[in-house]
Amino acid sequence: MRRCSGGWFEGELGSCKREERVVLVVRHYPPFLFNETEEPCEYSLKDRERMLSLLKRHDIHHYLAGHVHETIHGRAKELDLHTWIVAGTAMSAPPTLSTHPAHSRPKTKTRTDTACGANT
């Protein structure tokens, strides 16, 4: 995982966890295609174990990726993590994100983050 300004990403995840915010991580590469037990491949993150550990530590349940050029819903059951790979055919994917239990958490503030910096 490329580090941005000395742990920016990890710091932002920690801040969101403290604020009890629902987080959707968006990256180009998915951590896996269908589940966390499959062998890493050319389509998945090279640092998958580190990313999954980080997502688990910060209670992240949603991950959006591209790269594969197919629409795939994956799930890491142990982490309660849902991944969506969307590209080109994204409109055919069922809208299941809003039904995840994490969405029942209260939302207190809205924050817009930008790459390697944040506007609060």
Residue 111: the pLDDT is: 38
Residue 42: the pLDDT is: 87
Please report, for residues 8, 74, 76, 79, 106, the alpha-carbon distance to residue 23 in angstroms, rounded to integers and kept in the order given.
15, 17, 16, 14, 13
Residue 89: the pLDDT is: 52
Residue by residue, pLDDT tens for the chain (120 residues) are 454 545 888 999 999 999 999 999 999 999 999 999 998 888 888 889 999 999 999 999 999 999 888 889 999 998 899 999 987 654 554 554 444 444 444 443 333 343 333 333
Residue 63: the pLDDT is: 96
Q: Taking the domains of the chain in order of start, what are their residue ranges?
A: 22-91
- Residue among 72, 108, 101, 103 nearest 89 (CA): 72
pTM score: 0.67
How far is CA 113 from its chain centroid? 15
- Residue among 1, 7, 92, 86 nearest 52 (CA): 1
